[in-house]
Structure 1
Amino acid sequence: MGCVTSHLLEGDAAGDQYTDQVGSHVVSLTSTTYGILTTLDHFPSTTPPKTPIPQYTLEMFERRCPPGGEEAVVVYTTTLRGIRSTYENCNAVRSAIEGAGVRVSERDVSMDMKFREELRRVLGVGDEDVVVVPPRVFVRGRYIGGAAEVLRIHEEGGLAGLLEGLPRGRVGSVCDGCGGARFLPCFGCSGSRKLIVGTRSGASTVVVRCTGCNENGLVLCPICS
């Protein structure tokens, strides 16, 4: 009897010791885990701060005003696809400006020599050996730049501010007169650049150069230009 009681007491003591060890381990584990969780709350955020949108104003750009560009967006472009990068840059700039819902006065230097000469005059380029590559953008008489400058401003979110307050255009609309080409064959010579007129005596006719169209026999669309 004494031996049994002794073993039971020893067993109880061992059980209490095991319980103490387990309890101590649980408490230690819980404290460590809590400490880790608490430390995680103070880890610095890995989210990068938002980059502020650059503030552009028209006063930041050089004063160079094309004819009729005081309260308008004037874009000199080309529709020729001979140089693919130039053609695509013109399309990208046009889309960026029209996407802002602003009416664009587009002047195609490949369709009318007058626009090519006008652009050189506005930029002050007198040397005939210097090639002015389109597109070139002017807003309210300020020279914004070429494709690289305009698209960078657009990507930074600053283009809308430069176009604020300008006449609105219909996004995606196509002119019923020219289908968006902005030019039509001359109404007088049908694009041939030649007219047959009678002499003063009326006895004969002569062929003269049509003065109502450009070098390509085209005139600006009277509806959208």
Structure 2
Amino acid sequence: MSNTVVNSAGAGLVRAVPALVGAAGFALVYLVSGSISSAFASSPAPQPNVSGEETRAWLIENATASAVQAVLMLVSVAFLALFVGAVAAITRSADGPARRWAIAAGTAAVASMIISAVLSLLVGGLAAGLTPDAVVALRTANFIAGGTAHVALFGLFALAASRIPGMSRPVRIFAIVVAVIAVGSLASLAIYYASILILAGRLLGMVWCVFAAISLARRLKQFPPA
């Protein structure tokens, strides 16, 4: 009897492994990506509000650093995709509007980061043949897709996922904080200094993913296999 209970508990915990790995991998790869890519750069990457000539010159000189950063972003978002998929799989028995909205927002957040990484690879590889205006346009699109849009969608994913029946109250409360800051980062489209909300929303969202993954692992009985 005891072996049956242990085996059942072990099998149940296996269901939570993708969520735990996805949440941890997403955060860790993103956090180390800056340090790794900067090792290949001759100087810090220019801010989005600098001139096109300066941005173009930096990209030409630091094509490798730009490519490394983009590849690491793809690795990071692959872990996010794993986490979103794991949440969807674990909560299948609690299907409803919240779960469906969570899957939609999570998928959109993953897609926006992939678009951003692809744009980064393009502008970094083609910078020498592009005009400064074209570089600015591509880099702006890259910044919006991987920054403002991604973080806002990420916040909506956390909010919707936290409303899935069976999620713990602390996860729901934390998700509200994440969503307010993440969606609030849309103000950065009009106010440059509001871009601090992008970083805050992103980091809090990563912490929420880890918190939610641990909570799901502890509350698997709330989500029996469908």
The two structures have a TM-score, normalised by structure 1, of 0.23
- Structure whose CA Rg is larger: 1
Greater strand share, structure number: 1
Greater helix share, structure number: 2
